[in-house]
Amino acid sequence: MSIKPAPICLAEFPRAILHIDADCFFASCEMALNPKLKGLPVITGRERGIASSMSYEAKAAGVTRGMRLSDIKKVCPNAIILPSDYETYSLFSVRMFDIVRRYTPEVEEYSIDECFADLTGLQRPLNMDYAAIAGKIKDDLDTELGMTFSVGLAPTKVLAKVGSKWKKPSGLTIIPGYNIHLYLAKLKVEKIWGVGPATAAYLNKCGVNTAYDFATRGKEWVLARLTKPHYEIWRELRGDTVYPVSTEQKNDYRSISKTRTFTPASLDLDLVFSQLSKNIENACIKARRHGLCSKKFAFFLKTQDFRYSGAEVKLDRPVNIPHEIIGLAKQYFFEISKPKTLYRATGITLLDLSRETGGQLDLFKKAAKAKKFSKIYEKVDALSEKFGKHTVFLGSSMRAMASLQHEGDRGDAARRKKNLFAGETQRKRIGLPMLRSVN
Protein backbone atom coordinates (compact mmCIF):
# COMPACT_ATOMS: atom_id res chain seq x y z
CA MET A 1 0.00 0.00 0.00
CA SER A 2 1.45 3.40 -1.05
CA ILE A 3 1.77 6.09 1.57
CA LYS A 4 0.59 9.54 0.60
CA PRO A 5 3.13 12.25 1.46
CA ALA A 6 1.99 14.43 4.34
CA PRO A 7 1.46 18.19 3.90
CA ILE A 8 4.32 20.32 5.23
CA CYS A 9 2.50 23.68 5.09
CA LEU A 10 -1.22 24.10 5.81
CA ALA A 11 -1.72 27.77 4.89
CA GLU A 12 -2.80 28.36 1.29
CA PHE A 13 -0.71 31.47 0.60
CA PRO A 14 1.04 32.96 3.67
CA ARG A 15 2.67 35.00 0.92
CA ALA A 16 1.88 34.94 -2.79
CA ILE A 17 5.07 34.96 -4.87
CA LEU A 18 5.01 34.83 -8.65
CA HIS A 19 7.91 33.72 -10.84
CA ILE A 20 7.70 34.57 -14.54
CA ASP A 21 10.05 32.99 -17.06
CA ALA A 22 9.98 33.84 -20.77
CA ASP A 23 10.11 30.77 -23.02
CA CYS A 24 13.14 30.68 -25.37
CA PHE A 25 13.40 34.43 -24.87
CA PHE A 26 15.89 35.56 -27.53
CA ALA A 27 14.42 33.31 -30.22
CA SER A 28 10.90 34.32 -29.12
CA CYS A 29 11.77 38.02 -29.52
CA GLU A 30 12.83 37.34 -33.11
CA MET A 31 9.58 35.48 -33.81
CA ALA A 32 7.52 38.22 -32.18
CA LEU A 33 9.10 40.77 -34.51
CA ASN A 34 8.70 38.50 -37.52
CA PRO A 35 5.66 36.21 -37.08
CA LYS A 36 6.59 34.36 -40.30
CA LEU A 37 9.29 32.63 -38.25
CA LYS A 38 6.80 31.06 -35.85
CA GLY A 39 6.73 27.27 -36.03
CA LEU A 40 10.22 27.17 -37.55
CA PRO A 41 13.56 26.11 -35.99
CA VAL A 42 14.86 29.57 -35.07
CA ILE A 43 18.28 29.95 -33.42
CA THR A 44 20.14 33.05 -32.25
CA GLY A 45 23.90 33.35 -31.75
CA ARG A 46 25.30 33.36 -35.27
CA GLU A 47 27.79 36.08 -34.36
CA ARG A 48 29.24 33.85 -31.60
CA GLY A 49 29.36 30.73 -33.73
CA ILE A 50 27.20 28.84 -31.22
CA ALA A 51 23.51 28.58 -30.31
CA SER A 52 22.57 30.99 -27.53
CA SER A 53 18.79 30.52 -27.75
CA MET A 54 16.57 28.27 -29.82
CA SER A 55 12.88 27.73 -30.44
CA TYR A 56 11.18 24.53 -29.30
CA GLU A 57 11.16 23.36 -32.92
CA ALA A 58 14.96 23.64 -32.98
CA LYS A 59 15.21 21.85 -29.64
CA ALA A 60 13.04 19.03 -30.98
CA ALA A 61 15.48 18.64 -33.87
CA GLY A 62 18.35 18.12 -31.42
CA VAL A 63 19.84 21.62 -31.15
CA THR A 64 21.22 22.42 -27.70
CA ARG A 65 22.58 25.57 -26.08
CA GLY A 66 26.23 26.13 -26.98
CA MET A 67 26.14 23.85 -30.04
CA ARG A 68 28.45 24.99 -32.84
CA LEU A 69 26.97 26.24 -36.09
CA SER A 70 28.55 23.41 -38.06
CA ASP A 71 26.91 20.83 -35.79
CA ILE A 72 23.57 22.67 -35.87
CA LYS A 73 23.46 22.38 -39.65
CA LYS A 74 24.03 18.63 -39.39
CA VAL A 75 21.16 17.93 -36.99
CA CYS A 76 18.84 20.64 -38.33
CA PRO A 77 19.60 21.53 -41.98
CA ASN A 78 16.63 23.92 -42.22
CA ALA A 79 17.61 25.92 -39.13
CA ILE A 80 17.21 29.69 -39.35
CA ILE A 81 20.29 31.06 -37.58
CA LEU A 82 20.17 34.76 -36.71
CA PRO A 83 22.64 37.21 -35.14
CA SER A 84 21.77 38.11 -31.57
CA ASP A 85 20.11 41.52 -31.16
CA TYR A 86 20.65 42.18 -27.45
CA GLU A 87 19.49 45.77 -27.65
CA THR A 88 16.10 44.66 -28.95
CA TYR A 89 15.90 41.86 -26.39
CA SER A 90 16.51 44.37 -23.60
CA LEU A 91 13.61 46.49 -24.88
CA PHE A 92 11.33 43.46 -24.75
CA SER A 93 12.60 42.85 -21.22
CA VAL A 94 11.67 46.39 -20.16
CA ARG A 95 8.18 45.91 -21.60
CA MET A 96 7.85 42.62 -19.73
CA PHE A 97 8.68 44.17 -16.36
CA ASP A 98 6.45 47.18 -17.02
CA ILE A 99 3.46 44.91 -17.70
CA VAL A 100 3.98 43.07 -14.41
CA ARG A 101 4.27 46.40 -12.54
CA ARG A 102 0.73 47.28 -13.62
CA TYR A 103 -0.39 44.78 -10.98
CA THR A 104 2.25 45.16 -8.25
CA PRO A 105 5.15 47.53 -7.59
CA GLU A 106 7.08 44.71 -5.92
CA VAL A 107 8.90 43.28 -8.94
CA GLU A 108 12.42 41.85 -8.82
CA GLU A 109 14.18 41.85 -12.19
CA TYR A 110 16.07 38.61 -11.72
CA SER A 111 17.50 38.40 -15.24
CA ILE A 112 16.73 39.76 -18.70
CA ASP A 113 13.99 37.15 -19.22
CA GLU A 114 12.64 36.38 -15.74
CA CYS A 115 11.34 38.14 -12.67
CA PHE A 116 9.69 37.62 -9.30
CA ALA A 117 6.61 39.54 -8.16
CA ASP A 118 4.98 39.72 -4.73
CA LEU A 119 1.18 39.62 -5.02
CA THR A 120 0.50 39.37 -1.27
CA GLY A 121 -2.50 41.46 -0.20
CA LEU A 122 -3.64 42.34 -3.73
CA GLN A 123 -6.74 40.17 -3.83
CA ARG A 124 -9.12 42.85 -2.57
CA PRO A 125 -7.61 45.85 -4.43
CA LEU A 126 -7.64 43.92 -7.73
CA ASN A 127 -10.90 42.10 -6.97
CA MET A 128 -9.35 38.77 -7.98
CA ASP A 129 -7.85 35.81 -6.16
CA TYR A 130 -4.13 35.13 -6.54
CA ALA A 131 -4.59 32.48 -9.24
CA ALA A 132 -6.70 34.89 -11.32
CA ILE A 133 -4.11 37.67 -10.93
CA ALA A 134 -1.34 35.30 -12.06
CA GLY A 135 -3.43 34.22 -15.04
CA LYS A 136 -4.21 37.81 -16.03
CA ILE A 137 -0.54 38.81 -15.89
CA LYS A 138 0.38 35.83 -18.07
CA ASP A 139 -2.39 36.65 -20.58
CA ASP A 140 -1.20 40.26 -20.85
CA LEU A 141 2.41 39.19 -21.37
CA ASP A 142 1.53 36.57 -23.98
CA THR A 143 -0.80 38.88 -25.89
CA GLU A 144 1.13 42.15 -25.79
CA LEU A 145 4.62 40.75 -26.39
CA GLY A 146 3.68 38.05 -28.88
CA MET A 147 5.47 35.22 -27.08
CA THR A 148 4.74 32.77 -24.28
CA PHE A 149 5.71 32.83 -20.61
CA SER A 150 5.81 30.07 -18.00
CA VAL A 151 4.52 31.17 -14.61
CA GLY A 152 4.63 29.71 -11.12
CA LEU A 153 2.65 30.98 -8.10
CA ALA A 154 3.61 29.74 -4.64
CA PRO A 155 4.25 30.88 -1.05
CA THR A 156 8.03 31.36 -1.59
CA LYS A 157 10.53 32.20 -4.33
CA VAL A 158 12.06 28.72 -4.42
CA LEU A 159 8.61 27.13 -4.77
CA ALA A 160 7.55 29.70 -7.39
CA LYS A 161 10.62 28.63 -9.38
CA VAL A 162 9.42 25.03 -9.09
CA GLY A 163 6.06 26.14 -10.48
CA SER A 164 7.41 28.06 -13.48
CA LYS A 165 9.49 25.03 -14.54
CA TRP A 166 6.65 22.55 -13.99
CA LYS A 167 4.87 23.00 -17.33
CA LYS A 168 6.89 24.44 -20.19
CA PRO A 169 6.25 26.12 -22.50
CA SER A 170 3.41 28.49 -21.61
CA GLY A 171 2.54 26.86 -18.30
CA LEU A 172 0.71 28.33 -15.30
CA THR A 173 1.24 26.29 -12.16
CA ILE A 174 -0.37 27.20 -8.84
CA ILE A 175 1.19 25.66 -5.71
CA PRO A 176 -0.86 26.52 -2.59
CA GLY A 177 0.77 25.74 0.74
CA TYR A 178 -1.34 22.67 1.47
CA ASN A 179 -0.28 21.09 -1.86
CA ILE A 180 3.47 21.72 -1.68
CA HIS A 181 4.17 18.07 -0.86
CA LEU A 182 2.48 16.86 -4.05
CA TYR A 183 4.97 18.76 -6.19
CA LEU A 184 8.07 18.13 -4.09
CA ALA A 185 7.45 14.38 -4.12
CA LYS A 186 7.82 14.38 -7.93
CA LEU A 187 10.83 16.73 -8.07
CA LYS A 188 14.36 15.33 -8.06
CA VAL A 189 16.61 17.01 -5.53
CA GLU A 190 19.05 18.15 -8.25
CA LYS A 191 16.24 20.17 -9.85
CA ILE A 192 15.84 22.42 -6.80
CA TRP A 193 16.87 26.02 -7.48
CA GLY A 194 20.14 26.61 -5.62
CA VAL A 195 21.16 22.96 -5.19
CA GLY A 196 24.27 22.22 -7.25
CA PRO A 197 25.52 18.88 -8.60
CA ALA A 198 27.93 18.24 -5.69
CA THR A 199 25.26 18.90 -3.03
CA ALA A 200 22.72 16.82 -4.94
CA ALA A 201 25.18 13.91 -5.13
CA TYR A 202 25.83 14.15 -1.39
CA LEU A 203 22.10 14.25 -0.61
CA ASN A 204 21.53 11.20 -2.81
CA LYS A 205 24.15 9.33 -0.78
CA CYS A 206 22.21 10.27 2.36
CA GLY A 207 19.04 8.77 0.90
CA VAL A 208 17.59 12.15 -0.11
CA ASN A 209 16.43 11.72 -3.71
CA THR A 210 13.46 14.08 -4.02
CA ALA A 211 12.72 17.60 -2.90
CA TYR A 212 10.12 16.10 -0.52
CA ASP A 213 12.78 13.87 1.07
CA PHE A 214 14.84 16.99 1.68
CA ALA A 215 11.98 19.18 2.93
CA THR A 216 10.86 16.58 5.47
CA ARG A 217 14.30 16.05 7.01
CA GLY A 218 14.63 17.57 10.47
CA LYS A 219 16.13 20.98 11.10
CA GLU A 220 18.99 19.51 13.15
CA TRP A 221 19.83 17.05 10.36
CA VAL A 222 20.02 19.86 7.77
CA LEU A 223 22.09 22.20 9.96
CA ALA A 224 24.53 19.43 10.88
CA ARG A 225 25.26 18.40 7.28
CA LEU A 226 24.69 21.40 5.03
CA THR A 227 25.52 25.09 4.76
CA LYS A 228 23.37 28.08 5.67
CA PRO A 229 22.19 28.67 2.04
CA HIS A 230 20.92 25.08 1.86
CA TYR A 231 19.16 25.48 5.20
CA GLU A 232 17.44 28.57 3.77
CA ILE A 233 16.36 26.59 0.69
CA TRP A 234 15.04 23.86 3.01
CA ARG A 235 12.92 26.47 4.81
CA GLU A 236 11.60 27.92 1.53
CA LEU A 237 10.62 24.42 0.36
CA ARG A 238 8.55 24.12 3.52
CA GLY A 239 6.67 27.36 2.78
CA ASP A 240 8.68 29.70 5.04
CA THR A 241 9.62 33.00 3.42
CA VAL A 242 13.38 33.53 3.62
CA TYR A 243 14.10 35.34 0.36
CA PRO A 244 12.02 38.52 -0.02
CA VAL A 245 11.26 39.98 -3.44
CA SER A 246 13.89 42.68 -3.85
CA THR A 247 12.93 45.76 -5.87
CA GLU A 248 16.28 47.52 -5.48
CA GLN A 249 18.57 47.82 -8.47
CA LYS A 250 21.63 45.63 -8.11
CA ASN A 251 24.73 47.63 -7.21
CA ASP A 252 26.78 45.04 -5.34
CA TYR A 253 28.87 42.56 -7.32
CA ARG A 254 31.40 40.00 -6.21
CA SER A 255 33.11 40.34 -9.57
CA ILE A 256 32.67 42.04 -12.93
CA SER A 257 33.54 40.18 -16.13
CA LYS A 258 33.76 41.29 -19.73
CA THR A 259 34.64 38.95 -22.59
CA ARG A 260 34.85 39.39 -26.34
CA THR A 261 34.86 36.73 -29.04
CA PHE A 262 35.90 37.88 -32.50
CA THR A 263 36.02 36.29 -35.94
CA PRO A 264 38.05 35.48 -37.81
CA ALA A 265 40.56 34.36 -35.18
CA SER A 266 43.74 36.43 -35.30
CA LEU A 267 47.49 35.82 -35.27
CA ASP A 268 48.08 39.54 -34.65
CA LEU A 269 48.95 39.85 -30.95
CA ASP A 270 48.64 43.64 -31.05
CA LEU A 271 45.02 43.27 -32.22
CA VAL A 272 44.33 40.61 -29.60
CA PHE A 273 45.71 42.87 -26.87
CA SER A 274 43.58 45.73 -28.18
CA GLN A 275 40.52 43.49 -27.75
CA LEU A 276 41.62 42.82 -24.16
CA SER A 277 42.14 46.55 -23.60
CA LYS A 278 38.57 47.22 -24.73
CA ASN A 279 37.30 44.57 -22.30
CA ILE A 280 39.21 46.25 -19.48
CA GLU A 281 37.69 49.62 -20.36
CA ASN A 282 34.19 48.06 -20.40
CA ALA A 283 34.71 46.38 -17.02
CA CYS A 284 35.94 49.62 -15.47
CA ILE A 285 32.96 51.52 -16.89
CA LYS A 286 30.61 49.12 -15.09
CA ALA A 287 32.65 49.30 -11.88
CA ARG A 288 32.50 53.12 -11.85
CA ARG A 289 28.77 53.07 -12.59
CA HIS A 290 28.20 51.09 -9.41
CA GLY A 291 30.81 52.90 -7.31
CA LEU A 292 33.07 49.83 -7.03
CA CYS A 293 36.83 49.35 -7.10
CA SER A 294 38.90 46.24 -7.74
CA LYS A 295 41.84 44.97 -5.69
CA LYS A 296 42.66 42.13 -8.06
CA PHE A 297 41.97 41.13 -11.66
CA ALA A 298 42.31 38.07 -13.85
CA PHE A 299 42.40 37.90 -17.64
CA PHE A 300 42.42 35.10 -20.19
CA LEU A 301 43.15 34.44 -23.85
CA LYS A 302 41.32 31.74 -25.78
CA THR A 303 42.78 30.10 -28.87
CA GLN A 304 40.91 28.94 -31.95
CA ASP A 305 41.02 25.36 -30.61
CA PHE A 306 39.50 26.52 -27.28
CA ARG A 307 42.67 26.38 -25.19
CA TYR A 308 42.97 28.94 -22.41
CA SER A 309 45.88 30.82 -20.87
CA GLY A 310 45.72 33.65 -18.38
CA ALA A 311 47.03 35.39 -15.30
CA GLU A 312 45.76 36.74 -11.99
CA VAL A 313 47.24 40.03 -10.78
CA LYS A 314 46.95 41.81 -7.42
CA LEU A 315 46.77 45.61 -7.29
CA ASP A 316 48.46 47.69 -4.62
CA ARG A 317 45.19 49.55 -3.97
CA PRO A 318 41.56 49.42 -5.17
CA VAL A 319 41.07 50.99 -8.63
CA ASN A 320 38.28 51.43 -11.20
CA ILE A 321 40.13 53.25 -13.96
CA PRO A 322 41.75 51.21 -16.74
CA HIS A 323 45.23 52.77 -16.96
CA GLU A 324 46.91 50.71 -14.25
CA ILE A 325 45.08 47.50 -15.10
CA ILE A 326 45.99 47.75 -18.77
CA GLY A 327 49.63 48.47 -17.93
CA LEU A 328 49.90 45.43 -15.66
CA ALA A 329 47.93 43.23 -18.04
CA LYS A 330 50.30 44.13 -20.86
CA GLN A 331 53.29 42.89 -18.87
CA TYR A 332 51.73 39.46 -18.46
CA PHE A 333 50.02 39.39 -21.86
CA PHE A 334 53.22 39.04 -23.84
CA GLU A 335 54.51 36.42 -21.38
CA ILE A 336 51.54 34.09 -21.78
CA SER A 337 50.62 34.75 -25.42
CA LYS A 338 52.27 32.68 -28.12
CA PRO A 339 53.30 33.89 -31.59
CA LYS A 340 51.83 32.18 -34.65
CA THR A 341 48.79 31.14 -32.57
CA LEU A 342 45.23 31.91 -33.61
CA TYR A 343 43.28 33.66 -30.83
CA ARG A 344 39.50 34.01 -30.91
CA ALA A 345 38.56 35.61 -27.56
CA THR A 346 39.82 37.62 -24.59
CA GLY A 347 38.29 38.27 -21.20
CA ILE A 348 38.82 40.22 -17.98
CA THR A 349 37.37 39.74 -14.49
CA LEU A 350 37.64 42.40 -11.78
CA LEU A 351 37.87 40.67 -8.39
CA ASP A 352 37.81 41.59 -4.69
CA LEU A 353 35.41 44.46 -5.31
CA SER A 354 34.79 47.08 -2.63
CA ARG A 355 33.00 50.39 -2.33
CA GLU A 356 34.81 53.34 -3.86
CA THR A 357 36.55 55.55 -1.26
CA GLY A 358 38.79 58.55 -1.31
CA GLY A 359 41.87 56.37 -0.80
CA GLN A 360 45.01 57.03 1.21
CA LEU A 361 48.19 58.73 0.06
CA ASP A 362 51.09 56.31 -0.22
CA LEU A 363 54.84 56.89 -0.28
CA PHE A 364 54.94 57.51 -4.03
CA LYS A 365 51.72 59.53 -4.15
CA LYS A 366 50.13 57.04 -6.54
CA ALA A 367 46.75 57.58 -4.93
CA ALA A 368 46.98 61.31 -5.63
CA LYS A 369 47.75 60.58 -9.28
CA ALA A 370 44.84 58.13 -9.41
CA LYS A 371 42.55 60.82 -8.01
CA LYS A 372 43.47 63.08 -10.93
CA PHE A 373 42.64 60.26 -13.35
CA SER A 374 39.34 59.76 -11.55
CA LYS A 375 38.44 63.39 -12.27
CA ILE A 376 39.27 62.82 -15.92
CA TYR A 377 37.05 59.74 -16.04
CA GLU A 378 34.17 61.64 -14.49
CA LYS A 379 34.28 63.80 -17.65
CA VAL A 380 34.70 60.72 -19.88
CA ASP A 381 31.66 59.06 -18.30
CA ALA A 382 29.64 62.25 -18.71
CA LEU A 383 30.52 62.38 -22.43
CA SER A 384 29.56 58.71 -22.82
CA GLU A 385 26.24 59.37 -21.09
CA LYS A 386 25.51 62.19 -23.51
CA PHE A 387 26.92 60.87 -26.79
CA GLY A 388 27.12 57.10 -26.29
CA LYS A 389 29.48 54.49 -24.90
CA HIS A 390 33.13 54.74 -25.98
CA THR A 391 32.80 58.28 -27.29
CA VAL A 392 36.25 58.64 -25.69
CA PHE A 393 38.52 55.62 -25.37
CA LEU A 394 42.18 54.74 -24.89
CA GLY A 395 44.66 54.39 -27.73
CA SER A 396 45.38 50.80 -26.68
CA SER A 397 41.78 49.95 -27.60
CA MET A 398 41.87 51.73 -30.97
CA ARG A 399 42.25 48.68 -33.21
CA ALA A 400 39.47 46.82 -31.44
CA MET A 401 37.20 49.86 -31.72
CA ALA A 402 37.98 50.28 -35.42
CA SER A 403 37.49 46.62 -36.37
CA LEU A 404 34.28 44.67 -36.66
CA GLN A 405 33.76 42.11 -33.93
CA HIS A 406 32.82 39.53 -36.57
CA GLU A 407 33.49 39.43 -40.28
CA GLY A 408 32.14 37.27 -43.07
CA ASP A 409 28.93 35.26 -42.59
CA ARG A 410 29.01 35.74 -38.82
CA GLY A 411 29.39 39.49 -39.18
CA ASP A 412 25.83 40.12 -40.34
CA ALA A 413 24.49 42.89 -38.12
CA ALA A 414 21.33 42.47 -36.09
CA ARG A 415 18.15 44.26 -37.20
CA ARG A 416 18.36 47.02 -34.57
CA LYS A 417 21.90 47.97 -35.64
CA LYS A 418 20.86 48.27 -39.25
CA ASN A 419 17.76 50.40 -38.68
CA LEU A 420 18.44 53.55 -36.68
CA PHE A 421 15.78 56.10 -35.78
CA ALA A 422 16.09 59.85 -36.20
CA GLY A 423 18.43 61.22 -33.55
CA GLU A 424 20.26 57.92 -33.04
CA THR A 425 23.88 57.05 -33.79
CA GLN A 426 25.77 53.76 -33.70
CA ARG A 427 26.79 54.55 -30.12
CA LYS A 428 23.71 56.37 -28.81
CA ARG A 429 20.16 55.03 -28.85
CA ILE A 430 16.87 56.44 -27.67
CA GLY A 431 14.72 54.34 -25.34
CA LEU A 432 11.81 53.45 -27.57
CA PRO A 433 9.28 50.81 -26.51
CA MET A 434 9.44 47.72 -28.68
CA LEU A 435 6.40 47.28 -30.92
CA ARG A 436 5.46 43.97 -32.44
CA SER A 437 5.09 43.51 -36.19
CA VAL A 438 1.52 42.92 -37.32
CA ASN A 439 0.85 41.04 -40.57
Task: Report residue 66's pLDDT band, with 50, 70 and 90 as the boundaries.
Answer: confident
What's residue 225's pLDDT?
Answer: 94
Active site residue 114: yes
CA 119 – CA 208 distance, rounded (Å): 32
Q: Which of residues 47 and 112 earns the better pLDDT score?
A: 112
Question: pLDDT tens digit string along 94-121?
Answer: 999 999 999 999 999 999 999 999 999 9
Q: What is the mean pLDDT of the chain?
A: 87
Catalytic residue, chosen from 47, 106, 108, 114, is 114
Q: Which of 141-150, 257-266, 301-310 has the highest mean pLDDT?
A: 141-150
What's residue 223's pLDDT?
Answer: 95
What's residue 158's pLDDT?
Answer: 97
CA 164 – CA 149 distance, rounded (Å): 9
Task: Report residue 174's pLDDT band, with 50, 70 and 90 as the boundaries.
Answer: very high
**Residue range 118-129: mean pLDDT, rounded:** 96
Q: 32-39: which pairs have CB atoms within 8 A and are 24 or more residues apart?
A: 32/92, 32/145, 32/146, 32/147, 32/436, 32/437, 33/88, 33/415, 33/436, 33/437, 34/437, 35/146, 35/437, 35/439, 36/439, 37/80
What's residue 260's pLDDT?
Answer: 85
Domains of the chain as residue ranges with CATH: 17-166 (3.30.70.270), 176-237 (1.10.150.20), 256-406 (3.30.1490.100)
Query: Which region among 126-130, 308-312, 326-330, 375-379 has the lowest average model confidence (pLDDT)?
Result: 375-379
Task: Report residue 253's pLDDT band, with 50, 70 and 90 as the boundaries.
Answer: confident
What's residue 178's pLDDT?
Answer: 93
Helix 269-289 crosses helix 322-336 at what angle (to 10 degrees)?
150
For the whole model, what pTM was predicted?
0.76
Per-residue pLDDT for 410 more than 60? no
